[in-house]
Amino acid sequence: MSTQTSALARATGPLSGHTVIDLTRALAGPHAGMMMADLGARVIKVETPGHGDDTRGWGPPFVGPEDDPQATYFLSCNRNKESIALDLKSEDGKNTLTALLREADVVMENFRPGVLDRLGFSTEAMHALNPGLVVLSITGFGHDGPEAARAGYDQIIQGEAGLMSLTGSGPQDPQRVGVPIADLLSGMYGAYGVLAALIERQATGRGQVVRTSLLASVVGVHAFQGTRATVANEVPQAQGNHHPSIAPYGLFACKGGHVQISVGSEKLWAAFAAAFGLDAARPEFASNATRVRHRAAVIAEVERAFAAYGPAELLDLLNQAGIPAGKVRTLDEVYAWDQVASQGLKVDVEHPVLGTVTLPGPPLRFFDPATAEETTRTAHTAPPLLDADGAAIRDWLATGVAR
């Protein structure tokens, strides 16, 4: 057994003892699989022989030796997994996947609707092999409906699902979010659905099919912007770095930079106005509703008050006044921040090509009050090389170690 596989076998967490077969590629499904691996599941990533997951070739940036470059994109969503390369059109590939499905608790796929059916692995066929199997299926626009056959890519979905109309400096400046948020959200929703299905399986003994899509994931987080449209019959539009329903709340200029503030209550507004010499009772500023209606005047007044202070001094003054505030950090500043390190949001792993590398860490932590100890997984493994665990996985299936 390889060092990587040994480390995976020692994984702890709420999903320890569960096996996940990850047939997905790109980002949505792999992110869901990584979430389950972070929770202690054994996640076996099935990849296409020769080139593997598409993201192995998504770059630049690539790192490592010129004859074996590693895509940082792939590194972002595949930690704590094993890799086996299978040609699912071949007899050997189908037989190996069949054996894996018999031993699995979860299988994840993000093929277009109908692809797995044509390969011989329809939902009915997989449940005939393993009635307790939970199947996670992620598509672009949904599994049915008039546009189910469309290919779903993150930025296209951000536009189609309305997110870009809410993001940007104004209505004529639609912008995508700076990370592939539709992919990430659909992976998160998918993992959340899998956990619910695993809980239900304890009562029924049967696995369910969990379905989500990039479209559903974005519509699912419209939040108050959605109810503005469906209840208030308003059409929300992008308005830059200021909150559409609260004022002052957003990014404000000061001497030599910017700060962000969130004045989310009348109590905070009174404290903020007193700290910076503003007239809290001025008619157009007297309530949040009037401040929202006169947002431009509020912004101008706040920035006049801030003009005398640099960002660091201003943040100190805001903190003293009890006003929620912060700066805009670049990512190098984020990963150098001691608060980020304290939350386990950076993990060091040993990569077989790159050596020690630092990855963004898992966002969940677990604490056992009975022992007063944190039970969060702390031993992590690097994203695997293509087929790095293929031989070990085949041995596991062949020698009867599998349950």
Helix (H, G, I), strand (E, B) or coil at 104: coil
Residues whose CB is less than 8 angstroms from the CB of residue 209 and which lie 6 or more positions away in sequence, other chains included? 123, 134, 135, 137
CA distance 46 to 36: 15
Q: What are phi and psi of 81, to 5 degrees?
A: -120, 165
The answer to whether 375 and 1 are in contact (CB under 8 A) is: no
The dihedral built from the CA positions of residue 10, 16, 21 and 26, taken in this order, carries a sign that is negative
Tell me the chain's radius of gyration from C-alpha atoms. Answer: 25
Asked about 54 being catalytic, the answer comes back as no
Q: Which among 349, 344, 384 is positioned nearest to 362, based on CA atoms?
A: 344
Q: What is the DSSP letter of 283?
A: G
**Exposed/middle/buried for residue 269 (C-beta within 10 Å: 0-12, 13-18, 19+):** buried
Q: Provide the residue type at 366 as one letter.
A: F
Residues whose CB is less than 8 angstroms from the CB of residue 253 and which lie 6 or more positions away in sequence, other chains included? 303, 306, 307
Q: Provide the residue type at 260 as one letter.
A: Q
CA distance 29 to 38: 14
> What H or E segment, with its residue span, contains residue 358?
strand 355-360
Q: What six digits make up the tokens of 180?
A: 């592939």
Q: Which among 47, 5, 9 is positioned nearest to 29, based on CA atoms?
A: 47
Q: Which among 79, 135, 84 is positioned nearest to 106, based on CA atoms?
A: 135
Residues whose CB is less than 8 angstroms from the CB of residue 107 and which lie 6 or more positions away in sequence, other chains included? 20, 21, 23, 101, 126, 133, 134, 135, 136
Q: Per the residue annotation, which of 183, 279, 316, 338 is the catalytic one? A: 183
Checking DSSP bridges between strand 62-63 and strand 209-213, what pairing results, if any?
unpaired
Q: What six digits make up the tokens of 110?
A: 């993000």
Active-site positions? 183
